Amino acid sequence: MTEDRDRVRMTAEDSYVTEYLRAQNLMEGIEEYLRDLPAPTDEFHPHWGHVGDIKEVNRQLEAIIDFMRDGAKTV
């Protein structure tokens, strides 16, 4: 029975590492997207739709931070 538990544990550890690396990759994508957002210029004048889009991005990022701080299982 110990072997079964070890096999399940290794599977969970392997899955955790996979998901952790995926989260890192997603963060890189978010950072890249945010760096690529245009700043206001003579050619680009943001409108309220742009404001709403970035506000929604911020809302979702705050929800993720709240989940990781308060709701994520640490043990």
Would you write out the chain's pLDDT as a tens digit for each of its 75 residues?
566 776 667 789 999 999 999 999 999 999 999 999 999 999 999 999 999 999 999 999 999 999 999 876 665
What's the pLDDT tens digit per position in 5-21? 766 677 899 999 999 99
| Closest to 68 measured CA to CA, from 32, 28, 27 | 27
Q: Which helix (H) or strand (E) holds 7?
A: helix 2-36
Query: Of 22, 20, 24, nearest to 12 (Cα)?
Result: 20
pLDDT of residue 36: 95
Rg of the chain in Å (alpha carbons): 19
In the block, residue with structure tokens 């950072």: 31
- The reported pLDDT for the residue numbered 50 is 96
Tokens of residue 33, six digits: 């997207």
